[in-house]
Structure 1
């Protein structure tokens, strides 16, 4: 869509920028993967120029106002370059840069304008126009490419709103080709593969004569990083060791010295790459070649080939190579040579297996430096040793996302995979150097050995009775929750992809068989019927033998990020035992996701515990600065923010945010910090110990793989009381060890141009995410029954008392109990139903009125105890039996009735009166 509406300000600026003779122009444009973006400026003049007042502005999506303006500084030498790079780019870009900055950078459909004050000096793209995904002209595109300004262009393009054809002034190179950065006007290799051999003169070159004197390859290679014969025309005679001449390959071949031409210097290579495809050669051909010595991407090659003659055939014996080397630079001595590795190698990286046919190999599994060593010197030393053990295997193809994946030896599919930790034998090929890595281009098919078997479920001792897990579900976004609403901000692009993603996650979660699961990277869309967490739990329940529920934090969103953490739990084993809690207070208002926590009670033994979930700031360097920049200690960017988050999380947990004060606490989640980094040591200092480290006695666990290095970003840390109950823990390696090619996506690339080959998807657990789940097994202890603070009076109590017993006489002791008498003792007893009997504060039954057998020989009343906290017992009935006491029972034989009869008649009315007033 083209947008041509300009603001008055934009029109004014455009009018004020009449063409001028620019002395500084843009000479290279890099729009690479991730944050690999850079602009190179070139000083066309004969004098140094101060860049004070110069700016570089980016205009995104057809806007006429810049989305980012960078103020330049410093000086650009005469005929020199000045590189502005994204601060999160790779080292190959940053090492060439004079200025690095974060913030919002351009994409392939954005425009760039270089100004000195208000004067436009140069432009790239067309301001005010949205071309779609990129500008394109004659096959030259501006997205995912490196473009270099043609050498004959010395004046900037000052009409920044004019139609833009990138092919008019720019030459296209591959994505992430940084070989020419910082050196405009010099030969960057790879371009001229010989042509017709015309050197521009009138004389026909003398024909090549096989066997004549020739320049030795070891003299071309030299024993330094760069050839001593660079830019010189030479003639060599050598043997072809690897043929990669096709257009979808390297467009050239490798040669190696004849036996008689080799020298005794172990530091000089006897191999060389020839960039030439016009004459077909085969492995074993002895060839004589005339061409120019070049350095292409820091590798020596022969280019601008003018003549090639095939002189016959010969054999080359592969040189034995053993890793690790003493220094990485030692591989320079075999650059371009045919080698055979003396040792089997271990697969350490498959990230670009499906894209470029690359497999990272090493002598052993390699760990992140800060997983096993303290940040700083120790971690950097460890990483330096890693580099000596590593070699990249490359199929030599330049095709991105080929229909056939080259490794393993048989076809890669969802069930026949290449896992990290597998071993590779029969390694023979040529060594080359490109994209900052030494590579092996195999000349024989390598043999893959399945040394790291998949497991169908986590392998644990099974001694516990409670499982707590942590699982990063890789941007689980469910659209509108009703089958539509795709694409979403993250995650699956279509409903079909979402179904594939969900099936894999459900397979993994059901196999975990965990009682409580902490979730990361789930859509932050609340807890309603159609929310992401409701969708995931419903899907699990449809397939699992267990029944799960999720913790409802009763908020439309938790924090401001698009992703959030969550908790799901088995309703047949645990129940919530506190209030679901979270906080968005600093440092959880930005960067670190808000902490969440919920307490649970185990149904069978009433054991209580608290589960908290975290997801700290990632290691990406976008907009990082000061203490949060990459300090070179192995902890990458945002370490200060993560450490602050770890400390604050522990402090928040210490306040018992769920209202449950049980000491058993476990914190799980994606800490984005390896085991020896500052955030993990901060948690340890706060009393939350790393469960895996505690069990293993070391830090060589892993849940993630980055750049061929293993490490744990996902952790479980526990309080001392809970740690004592842990019986086992493991990372279930269903994701980190698997090629990303096996995930749920239908396409291999972000722009969805390259569909995945058939057979790579299955609805099993493998590559359900990029992080491995962590599972902790716990042996709980039966909790003591809760104390009922209410007093208890024993039922069925009765007492006997003789009639006419004096008032205030204690006739017995009430039987009662009080479980917490030490804290809240019984203070009084409440009697209802009689006034003749009372119970005092210690529980004695006391005569409170006159007792007469003839009037009432059984007194029934209710008693209730009350303690100092106001707790009341149940009302209990108590009986007092009044015993008849007769006068003169021991003189029954004497008949005194005659003499006393008149007294009885006199007393009768008095007795009636007494009873009536009782």
Structure 2
């Protein structure tokens, strides 16, 4: 989203006066707004009177102020708004002042306002109008039209559902309740689109009254985002009073004061190992870990870090997170596919984890994609048994990254575990052929390819038992690939222990599981616990290594090491 504002053409020689009352006549704001989303007076020069409710003429602001009709001049028509945005550089007037403005009615991407202001009169100072109570969500976004530009007060707190643009534009997306990807909870089908639309109706952006990118300090939470003052998905926001605004294609609240934030989803330490477990397996999508040329140069990479310093920050954050989990075996996805030599990214990762870490090396290159799956392990705790195998035929000839399978045994153990690292094709529709296009059922593009891959995984490798399929399946919990594997005897361990209302990933503020640990029937008696550590997806991307201006003090944190959360399973093997 490109956040810009209109170029204003201001007439010269403004007439600015101050007195006790605004002169008559004037055009009611409700006549300008009308009863739909297009002003019936667009292009007309008018004079309006009202109270300045929010002044956003500050540096980097929206170059104007919000005006609301004084109560004694309102028409009490519930279908029309009594608020208007005034585009002007004139500095006279402040919040709570009654003013008279003459200018031209203009529509700017759905926002009705006045431009070409040539007269501004400050008449009195009655103070701010009482806010209109607003129960959110509404049945239709159109019902907010009658509140455009007006001061409102939300009757209930809202929950933070998306922080994607917090560091970029100073925005938060709020909703009355947690929003899940519909196919996380429901089977795919034509009704999924209706659920998406309902979620959109339940969203409201809270803005910061600025049009500039990368506001610093970050406006939310109060006091500024910092390691000691985090903001996470699921936190709640109270005392929401502000101007109902429409710009850049969304309804948003421009607060009149500082909202109150409640920590409702606090950070948690990595899950403790089950007391009876003697083996811990973890998996993590690394979010494109690329090391340039392996010698400190070669940046920006085709994916991932844009500089050597970004790579070091990314690798350090990932290593900190993995060490906190303390796995014995680790499966990773979105690792640069650059071999096993001293300058490879895999060697850099193993080195960052510590001298006890080793990795599985396949005889053949694991596919032709820029990224690959890989397996690492604590050589002081487990031993690989036999040689690893790759699946790069059949369903895995294209699109998906070839799975890597390896048998492992405890250092002094008898039983083996076959671990399979998986990363299936994403839902993105770029270059999707006709037979892999989005079918409108909520599964996105390449859904058939993921189903075909799931069928192949259910039968691979041949002749092994106690299999654990782990990694990024790019399918939510009720989608077809998980249904296929469930019918083949594989248990989704997170769903088994914790139900469906979980997430390892967020997309446009909606939560769901893309990452899984799936155990076959013979392994299930050995499984003691399985967890998602919500260390990444619930955190603002502002903490990401890719952000140019993250808040100070983020170095050495485990948070937001990737955009996916790690999945962890504790087992007991003989």
TM-score range, shorter chain: over 0.9
1:309 partnered with 2:128: no
Q: CA deviation at 1:213?
A: 3.2
Compared CA separation, residues 217 and 453, structure 1 to 2 (3 A): same
Q: Which 10-residue stretch deviates more, 263-272 or 310-319?
A: 263-272
CA distance in structure 1 between the partners assigned to 2:432 and 2:43 by the alignment = 42
1:739 partnered with 2:540: yes
Kept in 2: contact 1:742–1:760 (CA 8 A): no
Q: CA deviation at 1:316?
A: 0.4
1:321 partnered with 2:134: yes
1:766 is matched with which residue? 559
Q: CA deviation at 1:758?
A: 5.4
CA distance in structure 1 between the partners assigned to 2:17 and 2:328 by the alignment = 82
CA distance in structure 1 between the partners assigned to 2:50 and 2:160 by the alignment = 33
Unaligned runs of 5+ in 1: 1-32, 34-174, 178-188, 199-203, 749-754, 783-918
CA distance in structure 1 between the partners assigned to 2:73 and 2:312 by the alignment = 63
CA distance in structure 1 between the partners assigned to 2:142 and 2:275 by the alignment = 49
Q: CA deviation at 1:483?
A: 4.0
1:714 is matched with which residue? 515
Kept in 2: contact 1:527–1:554 (CA 8 A): no
2:357 is matched with which residue? 548
Compared CA separation, residues 243 and 585, structure 1 to 2 (3 A): same
Residue 488 of structure 2 is aligned with which of 668, 686, 691? 686
In the TM superposition, what whole-angstrom CA distance separates every residue of 1:407-447 from its partner, at most 9, and x where no partner exists?
11112223422111112222111111122211111110112
2:81 is matched with which residue? 269
CA distance in structure 2 between the partners assigned to 1:757 and 1:508 by the alignment = 18
1:47 is matched with which residue? none
Kept in 2: contact 1:193–1:277 (CA 8 A): no
Kept in 1: contact 2:53–2:96 (CA 8 A): yes
Compared CA separation, residues 645 and 757, structure 1 to 2 (3 A): closer
Compared CA separation, residues 274 and 461, structure 1 to 2 (3 A): farther
Compared CA separation, residues 243 and 352, structure 1 to 2 (3 A): same
1:491 partnered with 2:300: no
Question: Which secondary structure does the structure 2 equivalent of 1:580 belong to?
Answer: strand
Kept in 1: contact 2:225–2:551 (CA 8 A): no
1:671 partnered with 2:473: yes
Q: CA deviation at 1:319?
A: 1.2
Compared CA separation, residues 650 and 221, structure 1 to 2 (3 A): same
1:467 is matched with which residue? 280
1:516 is matched with which residue? 329
CA distance in structure 1 between the partners assigned to 2:379 and 2:367 by the alignment = 27
Kept in 1: contact 2:280–2:329 (CA 8 A): yes
Kept in 2: contact 1:245–1:280 (CA 8 A): no
Question: Which secondary structure does the structure 2 equivalent of 1:578 belong to?
Answer: strand
Q: CA deviation at 1:604?
A: 4.0
1:16-55 residue pairs with structure 2 within 5 A? none
2:105 is matched with which residue? 293
Kept in 1: contact 2:105–2:114 (CA 8 A): yes
Q: CA deviation at 1:242?
A: 0.5
Question: Which secondary structure does the structure 1 equivalent of 2:523 belong to?
Answer: helix
Q: Which 10-residue stretch deviates more, 731-740 or 209-218?
A: 209-218
CA distance in structure 2 between the partners assigned to 1:631 and 1:299 by the alignment = 35
Kept in 1: contact 2:419–2:470 (CA 8 A): yes
Q: CA deviation at 1:485?
A: 4.0
1:478 partnered with 2:291: yes
Query: How many pairs does the alignment contain?
Result: 572
CA distance in structure 2 between the partners assigned to 1:757 and 1:617 by the alignment = 31
Residue 377 of structure 1 is aligned with which of 186, 190, 199? 190
1:238-277 residue pairs with structure 2 within 5 A? 238-277=50-89
1:154-303 residue pairs with structure 2 within 5 A? 175=2, 190-196=6-12, 210-303=22-115
CA distance in structure 1 between the partners assigned to 2:240 and 2:351 by the alignment = 49
Question: Which secondary structure does the structure 1 equivalent of 2:468 belong to?
Answer: strand
Q: CA deviation at 1:619?
A: 2.2
In the TM superposition, what whole-angstrom CA distance separates every residue of 1:352-409 from its partner, at most 9, and x where no partner exists?
1111111111112211112112223342232233223211111011111233211111
Q: Which 10-residue stretch deviates more, 437-446 or 637-646?
A: 637-646
Question: Which secondary structure does the structure 1 equivalent of 2:402 belong to?
Answer: coil
Compared CA separation, residues 758 and 514, structure 1 to 2 (3 A): closer
CA distance in structure 1 between the partners assigned to 2:529 and 2:129 by the alignment = 55
- Per chain length, whose mean CA-contact separation is higher, i.e. which structure has more relative contact order (CA < 8 Å, sep 6+)? 2
1:467-866 residue pairs with structure 2 within 5 A? 467-542=280-355, 547-555=356-364, 557-651=365-459, 653=460, 655-656=461-462, 661-696=463-498, 698-745=499-546, 748=547, 755-756=548-549, 759-780=552-573, 782=574
Compared CA separation, residues 207 and 287, structure 1 to 2 (3 A): closer
1:454 partnered with 2:262: no
CA distance in structure 2 between the partners assigned to 1:511 and 1:206 by the alignment = 66
Question: Which secondary structure does the structure 1 equivalent of 2:193 belong to?
Answer: helix
Compared CA separation, residues 195 and 246, structure 1 to 2 (3 A): farther
2:226 is matched with which residue? 413
CA distance in structure 2 between the partners assigned to 1:205 and 1:502 by the alignment = 59
Residue 434 of structure 1 is aligned with which of 233, 239, 247? 247
Compared CA separation, residues 220 and 374, structure 1 to 2 (3 A): farther
Question: Which secondary structure does the structure 1 equivalent of 2:393 belong to?
Answer: coil
1:828 is matched with which residue? none
CA distance in structure 2 between the partners assigned to 1:224 and 1:724 by the alignment = 62
Compared CA separation, residues 299 and 625, structure 1 to 2 (3 A): farther
Compared CA separation, residues 637 and 453, structure 1 to 2 (3 A): same
When the two chains are superposed, the root-mean-square deviation of aligned CA atoms in Å is 2.5
CA distance in structure 2 between the partners assigned to 1:261 and 1:462 by the alignment = 71
Q: CA deviation at 1:247?
A: 4.6
Kept in 1: contact 2:17–2:120 (CA 8 A): no
Kept in 2: contact 1:459–1:730 (CA 8 A): no
Q: CA deviation at 1:176?
A: 6.3
Q: Which 10-residue stretch deviates more, 613-622 or 633-642?
A: 633-642
Q: CA deviation at 1:324?
A: 2.1
Kept in 2: contact 1:197–1:305 (CA 8 A): no
Q: CA deviation at 1:216?
A: 1.9
Kept in 2: contact 1:703–1:710 (CA 8 A): yes
Larger Rg: 1
Unaligned runs of 5+ in 2: none
Compared CA separation, residues 197 and 624, structure 1 to 2 (3 A): farther
1:330-349 residue pairs with structure 2 within 5 A? 330-349=143-162
1:892-903 residue pairs with structure 2 within 5 A? none
Kept in 2: contact 1:583–1:596 (CA 8 A): yes
Compared CA separation, residues 622 and 573, structure 1 to 2 (3 A): same
CA distance in structure 1 between the partners assigned to 2:8 and 2:224 by the alignment = 36
Residue 361 of structure 1 is aligned with which of 135, 158, 174? 174
Q: CA deviation at 1:475?
A: 1.6
Q: Which 10-residue stretch deviates more, 489-498 or 390-399?
A: 489-498
TM-score, normalization by structure 2: 0.93
